[in-house]
Amino acid sequence: MATWKAPLREYRFILHELLGVEDVSALPGYEEATPEIFDAVLEQAGTFCEEVLLPLNRSGDEEGCRFENGQVLTPKGFKEAYAQFREAGWIGLAASPEWGGQGLPKLLHFLVEEMISSTNHAFGMYPGLANGAYEAIRTHAGEALKQEFLPKLVSGEWLGTMNLTEPQCGTDLGLIRTRAEPQAGGSYAITGTKIFISAGEHDLTENIIHLVLAKLPDAPPGIRGISLFVVPKVLIDPATGAKTRNGVACGSIEHKMGIHGSATCVMNFDGAKGWLVGEAHKGMRAMFTMMNAARLGVGIQGLGHAETAYQSARTYAGERLQGRALSGAKYPDRPADPLLVHPDVRRMLLTIRAQAEGGRALACWIGKEIDISLKHPDPDRRAAADDLVQLMTPIVKSYLTDTGFESAVLAQQVLGGHGYIREWGIEQIVRDCRITQIYEGTNGIQALDLVGRKLGTGMGRLLRRFFHPVSAYLTEAAKQPELAEFALPAAKTLGRLQQVTALLAQKGLADPEEAGAAASDYLRLFAHAALAYLWTRMAALALAGLDGEDGAFYRAKLATARFYMTRLLPQATAHALAIQAGAKPIMEMEEAAF
Amino acid sequence: MATWKAPLREYRFILHELLGVEDVSALPGYEEATPEIFDAVLEQAGTFCEEVLLPLNRSGDEEGCRFENGQVLTPKGFKEAYAQFREAGWIGLAASPEWGGQGLPKLLHFLVEEMISSTNHAFGMYPGLANGAYEAIRTHAGEALKQEFLPKLVSGEWLGTMNLTEPQCGTDLGLIRTRAEPQAGGSYAITGTKIFISAGEHDLTENIIHLVLAKLPDAPPGIRGISLFVVPKVLIDPATGAKTRNGVACGSIEHKMGIHGSATCVMNFDGAKGWLVGEAHKGMRAMFTMMNAARLGVGIQGLGHAETAYQSARTYAGERLQGRALSGAKYPDRPADPLLVHPDVRRMLLTIRAQAEGGRALACWIGKEIDISLKHPDPDRRAAADDLVQLMTPIVKSYLTDTGFESAVLAQQVLGGHGYIREWGIEQIVRDCRITQIYEGTNGIQALDLVGRKLGTGMGRLLRRFFHPVSAYLTEAAKQPELAEFALPAAKTLGRLQQVTALLAQKGLADPEEAGAAASDYLRLFAHAALAYLWTRMAALALAGLDGEDGAFYRAKLATARFYMTRLLPQATAHALAIQAGAKPIMEMEEAAF
């Protein structure tokens, strides 16, 4: 089985040393979230994940969900685990106290989500989707709908879903065919078929609150004619409390590569009773608010997989005896040396580690900015934080899921044949993590969001929220001789990023396909610029801690920083060169020739 | 289901235009393998793979092998397909006519193997392993064993296996514990447990011929004390023809990520009767001859997956309507444009295509050299070809399987959510292909073989077999203005490779860990140097064909060459930079800190 312990020392480093979590505790409304509370909550969540979720991870994968007579049965143990999860209060962790939540910072929620994904991604889908439904209703619905649904979503008595995709449309939601007909009394009759609906049907809660995109009869065509509705599985008569089944049912569940414990449903709406959330035809706007939050959450899932991949592969590499160190036997008294002595095994482990630690720093930086954007008393500071969050959301989503998958594949490679069989649990990480690069907008769509939407916003205002502070920090850091080995390549990467950004701005104006052709490489280059900056900051902290009592921790941090700078960052050069080659090599192939 | 048609036009391009297959036909012993015979055999094999193997690919994955009462049952249809496969003569295609084979060139066999892997990798494991057993016996066994086993292996009446791995040893075969005790009459009693034995037990043939690594009682310790034995499942009394079951049995089969139709067995040898193949204690040498051939075959498997990934993703991208071209609707009369209009989708498809076409050119180049090394009348030419084959074997294995997997993952990404569910067959390609990076020596081991063994052989003699002709060709090509866009970056890559080779030679002498730390990046850089050379040659052919009647084919070839040069080859720079960073960033982390 996969190996995992909560990486609490890493969390403390990020929170207390890198980010200064006391800034978050100082925000109005977060008074109770003291730095000590951060540590205590993370420790408790870690124990829960290790003791309750991890033991169900492989069995949930093996058993999967079953579909019987219109019902979905989750794998053995999921129901009990969910009851414990609710009981322990993990559902409403970051939800507003107004609706019964604990109102803790998003930054803290990020790390709890990481641990859930590390130990049982499939299980985490159920509360994760409900969180999306909560946000949609809280942000966009009227008071009556809020009163009806939010308390039960926050307490976990009910779960929720997001119904977007249809057979003929995934990315292109303008093609939606599901219809909503106005009914007497202000409700709507929803009819249509939705696919790929995570948690669409299950046995964890009595009621499931579906958020559904559909078109009103007078809807303008395309993406501007979509409205958002809330459609409960069970209707409750407000007067009598009588329960009736709504006209929505699961038609089947998908057989898929991974996250077998998560039910992926075909949902048939047959005149189901629903209510409009927000304004008519403005459903996409409501959806986008929520999707941005969901995208960060998906990035965190990739990070969670990278962490488990690392811990599992490291454990194996330390125990498995095979071959001898190239420089001569390190453990001559044993039949062979552990895999850890081999440079190529170390290369793989360090790659995973650098990606997980760097990715976590990036996600948490943005997590802190979310809290600032929500709670800071200064509206300018809030706006600045929101800009940065918007800019970095597609990068966090894509980079953390791409490297999460790469990390899982590398960990599998460390285990060799044992990584390919089910027994060790590593191949499951590969299969489970793979979906994170696809859902909530494929990583290609994230890249288009970055170059097509985020770069141009406010004449480059979002970009400046990144370039200015990063550039200022690196300029100062480069003056410190002991930091130069980090700050100089980081500054060089930033320079390259600025250079290709200017190139894109110029070429993209004349030909939008130039931006599209560059998008994926640009996103990855941007991620490297952010990571090189963060690794420089982490290296500075490590250098300062080398002589303390936790010296071993900082020596390892410094070694990982050096590995990143010298062995991974060179990829930024390749991305820049690919971007500079332009769109022609991609667009010149005739369609029929593919 | 995955889409696949035999890529016959590509095969003709490689055989007749790039490699000059008439050189192979002209070799003594290959007189019957005329260029026309190549085409005819490939066409027939393509039809067989499309009609017989492809339809069993997904059902074989879903059903998998079953283990019941010591027996392994292959998926429904495999037995019948195997009977047809034998009947059609595909088993002994490249085997010697002396033993009933057709004696066709290895180059031809490579492409047949590609098609088998494209359409049913799991099925292909059974004849593939038997081929390894055939080669081991043919090359190393005495006349009596050859007479007993070869005709039936070549006819396919019996199948065979390779038994190397044990629970405590995979890569490090020096740790083998299986024992062989000499018996009266010249046989041996083999006792021990082998794991991960593909085709170790099944219902396709009555007898299974196991090749087994074991240690004699007087064996020196480690890798130099291993002997090779042949151990049939069923013993046949030479006098009476009476059949008795030998002391070898399958204990269980593995549940694994992919190739579910291939039985991966735990084999228990309990005093099983076997015979020594070749000399005592020289089993590793026998194994290596065979493993080199098997490694190339595994590379071909990766290529087969890349081809199916490409065809499947291309089909989907041409049919799926989603979104509009960035430059404005291309098909305003349809509800949306096909995915093919999107630059990022094209980037993914072209990456797969460039990897498949380039990988095939590389594999076939080496396939031709194998035929030359076996059949050329001039011993110097034979030796030169053998040198190049030795050098390039780890590169073909690693590069084709790494890019095969990357291609499968990219194809899955093109399909989005539909790539994640089983229905479309793409996620199976990802799961099946993954093993190719692991078995027959992990790709990390291939890289160590390249830097640790191949680079130094004959004071760099193997290397010169690559550097000299490639350098000579590129120098000439660079003088042709229309070829400069290919020849110049190819020459630059070759120069980088020569530079880091010199660096490694120098540093590796002082510290073998320098070579180990560079190995994987070095192998990939080497692959790029070889591919850039081959793409230059292919581009030259394409330029010459642009105005002919098959102009569309050559325009596409040229566009793919340009894509490779401008969008993929830049990765070579990153690999060179990583190598130049040296071993320190990999070795400085303390073992306990991992």
Grade residue B220 by pLDDT with cuts at 50, 70 and 90.
Answer: very high
Looking at the fold, whether B459 and B582 belong to one and the same domain comes out as: yes
Instruction: Note the pLDDT tens digit of each residue in A168-225.
Output: 999 999 999 999 999 999 999 999 999 999 999 999 999 999 999 999 999 999 889 9
* B594·A419 Cβ contact <8 A: no
Average of per-residue pLDDT across B343-347: 98
| Interchain contact B590–A (C-beta under 8 A) | yes
- Judge if B464 and B531 occupy the same domain: yes
Contact flag B444-A348 (C-beta cutoff 8 Å)? yes
Token pair in block for residue B244? 């008795």
What is residue A88's predicted lDDT score, i.e. its pLDDT?
94
Identify whether A171 is part of a domain.
yes
> Cβ A552–B444 below 8 Å, yes or no?
no
Residue B552: pLDDT over 80: yes
Q: Which residues of A touch B254 (CB under 8 A)?
A: 421-423
Nearest to A359 by CA among A273, A280, A299, A286: A299
Chain B CB contacts of A520 under 8 Å are 344, 347
The pLDDT of residue B12 is 98
Decide if A509 touches B, using CB distance below 8 A. no
The whole-number average pLDDT for the span A517-527 is 98
Q: Give the predicted TM-score (pTM) of the model.
A: 0.98
Active site amino acids of A: 440
Please state, in angstroms and rounded to a whole number, the distance separating the CA atoms of residues B346 and A587. Answer: 8
Q: Residue B98 is part of a domain; what is its CATH number?
A: 1.10.540.10
| pLDDT score at A319 | 97
Q: Please write the tens of the pLDDT for every residue from A36-81.
A: 999 999 999 999 999 999 999 999 999 999 999 999 999 999 999 9
Which residues of chain A make contact with B519, given a CB cutoff of 8 A?
Answer: 343-344
Q: Which residue in A455, A291, A587, A584 sits closest to B345, CA to CA? A: A587
Interface contact flag, B346 A322, Cβ < 8 Å: no
B575 and B465 share one domain: yes
For residue B363, being part of any structural domain is answered with no
Q: A195 and A84 in one domain?
A: no
Whether B322 and A583 lie within 8 Å, measured CB to CB: no
- Span B96-103, average pLDDT: 96
Chain A residues within an 8 Å CB radius of B562? 584-585, 588
Answer whether residue B287 shows pLDDT above 90: no
In a domain, A223, yes or no: yes
Residue A314: enclosing H or E segment and its boundaries?
A: helix A283-319
* Residues in chain B within 8 Å Cβ distance of A177: none
Q: Which of A262, A345, A420 to mutate to test the interface with B (most CBs of B within 10 A)?
A: A420
The pLDDT of residue B1: 76
Residue B178 shares a structural domain with residue B94 = no
Taking only residues 331 to 370 of chain B, the set having a beta carbon closer than 8 angstroms to any beta carbon of chain A reads 335-336, 338, 340-350, 353
- Across the interface, whether the CB atoms of B556 and A349 are under 8 A apart is answered no
Question: Does the beta-carbon distance from B516 to A343 stay under 8 Å?
Answer: yes
Active site residues of B: 440
Least CA distance to A350: which residue of chain B?
Answer: B586
Q: What is the pLDDT of residue B235?
A: 98
Q: Do B347 and A416 touch (CB under 8 A)?
A: no
Å between A154 CA and nearest CA of chain B = 29
Sequence-separated (6 or more) residues with CB below 8 Å from residue A163: A178, A194, A197, A200, A210, A211, A212, A213, A231, A267
Quote the CA–CA distance of B568 and B528 in Å, as a whole number: 9
**Mean pLDDT within A478-507:** 97
Which helix (H) or strand (E) segment holds residue B138: the answer is helix B106-140
Query: Least CB-CB distance to B513: which of A327, A448, A578?
Result: A327
Mutation choice for B interface testing from A121, A215, A344, A406 by most B CBs within 10 A: A344
Q: Given CB atoms, is B577 within the 8 Å cutoff of chain A?
A: yes
- Dihedral (Cα; B95, B97, B101, B102), 10-degree rounding: 100
Kindly state the average pLDDT of the residues A163-171: 95
User: Which uninterrupted H or E stretch holds B416?
Assistant: none
Domain membership of residue A390 (yes or no) is no
| DSSP string covering B480-508 | SGGGHHHHHHHHHHHHHHHHHHHHHHHHH
Complex ipTM tops 0.90 = yes
For residue range B60-87, list pLDDT tens digits in order: 999 999 999 999 999 999 999 999 999 9
- Per DSSP, the residues of A220-286 read PSGGGGBEEEEEESEEE-TTT--EEE-SEEEEEE--BSS-TTS-EEEEEEEEEEEEEESSTTBHHHH
User: Could you tell me the pLDDT band of residue B394, with boundaries at 50, 70 and 90?
Assistant: very high
- Percent of chain B beyond pLDDT 90? 96
Partner-chain residue, chosen from B568, B586, B594, that has the shortest CB–CB distance to A347: B586
Longest dimension (CA), chain A: 83
- In this structure, the answer to whether residues A127 and A164 fall within a common structural domain is no
Question: A401 at the B interface (CB within 8 A)?
Answer: no
CB pairs under 8 A between A and B: 290
Under the banding of pLDDT at 50, 70 and 90, the label for residue B139 is very high
Contact B111, B104 (CB under 8 A): no
* pLDDT at A448 (0 to 100): 97
Residue A578 at interface with chain B, using a CB cutoff of 8 Å: yes
Q: Is residue A33 part of a domain?
A: yes
**Do A53 and A95 lie in a common domain?**
yes
Of B218, B248, B281, the domain-final residue? B281
Q: Is B159 on the interface with A (CB under 8 A)?
A: no
Check residue A137 and give its pLDDT. Answer: 96
In eight-state DSSP terms, residue B74 is P
Interface of B with A in 206-265 (CB under 8 A): 254-258, 264
CA-nearest residue to A513 within chain B is: B326
Indicate the number of domains in chain B: 3
Q: Do A560 and B589 lie within an 8 Å CB cutoff?
A: yes
- Chain A hits for B560, CB-CB cut-off 8 Å, are 589
For position A285, what pLDDT does the model report? 85
Residue B240, pLDDT score: 96
The Cα B400–Cα B363 span in angstroms is 8
Interface residue of A326, A446, A451, A493 to substitute, partner B, most B CBs within 10 Å: A326
Residue B343 lies in a domain: no
8 Å CB contact of B592 and A552: yes
For residue A406, tell me if it sits in a domain: no
What is the DSSP pairing of strand A179-182 with strand A188-198? antiparallel
Q: Report the residue of B162, B198, B327, B346 to disrupt the A interface, i.e. the one with the largest count of A CBs within 10 Å.
A: B346
pLDDT at residue A25 above 80? yes
Shortest CA distance from A517: residue in chain B: B343
B423 to A255: CB separation less than 8 angstroms, yes or no: yes
Task: Tell me, yes or no, if B309 comes closer than 8 A to chain A by beta carbon.
Answer: no
pLDDT tens, residue by residue, A79-129: 999 999 999 999 999 999 999 999 999 999 999 999 999 999 999 999 999
Contact B520 A321 (CB under 8 A): no
Helix (H) or strand (E) holding A180: strand A179-182
Nearest CA of chain A to the CA of B585: how many Å?
5
State the pLDDT confidence band at B289, using cuts at 50, 70 and 90.
confident
**Chain B residue with minimum CA distance to A314:** B594
Residue B378 lies in a domain: no
B555: closest CA of chain A, how far (Å): 8
Burial-class residue B154 by CB neighbours within 10 Å (0-12, 13-18, 19+).
buried
Whether residues B32 and B123 fall in one domain: yes
pLDDT value of position A315: 98
Q: Would you tell me which residues 167-186 of chain A have a C-beta closer than 8 angstroms to some C-beta of chain B?
A: 168-172, 174-175
CATH assignment of the domain containing A245:
2.40.110.20
Residue of B nearest to A564 (CA): B585
Same structural domain, B163 and B79: no
Q: Which of A281, A303, A335 is the last residue of a domain?
A: A281
Residues B40/B45/B46/B52 CA torsion (nearest 10 deg): 150
Q: Is A147 exposed, middle or buried (0-12, 13-18, 19+ CB in 10 A)?
A: exposed
Q: How far apart are CA B112 and CA B106, in angstroms?
A: 10
Least confident of A299-313, A498-512, A516-530: A498-512
Q: Tell me if chain B has a CB within 8 Å of the CB of A430.
A: yes
- B556: chain A residues, CB-CB within 8 Å: 589-590, 593
Q: Is the pLDDT of residue A1 over 80?
A: no
At residue B149 the predicted structure's pLDDT band, cuts being 50, 70 and 90, is very high
Within this chain, do residues A17 and A133 fall inside the same structural domain, yes or no? yes
* Nearest residue of chain A to residue B427 (CA atoms): A257
Q: Any chain B CB within 8 A of the CB of A586?
A: yes
Average pLDDT in chain A: 97
Q: Among residues B231, B259, B281, which one ends one of the domains?
A: B281
Chain B residues close to A574, C-beta within 8 Å: 570-571, 573-574
Q: What percent of chain A is predicted at pLDDT more than 90?
A: 96
Q: Are residues B136 and B251 in the same domain?
A: no
Identify all chain B residues contacting A425, using CB atoms and an 8 Å cutoff.
Answer: none
**pLDDT confidence of residue B286:** 84
Q: Which two tokens stand for residue A410?
A: 């590398």
**Residue A567 and residue B585: Cβ atoms within 8 Å?**
yes
Beta strand ranges found along B219-359 (DSSP E): 227-232, 234-236, 243-245, 248-253, 264-277
Give me the domain span that covers residue A107.
8-140
Same domain, A126 and A13: yes
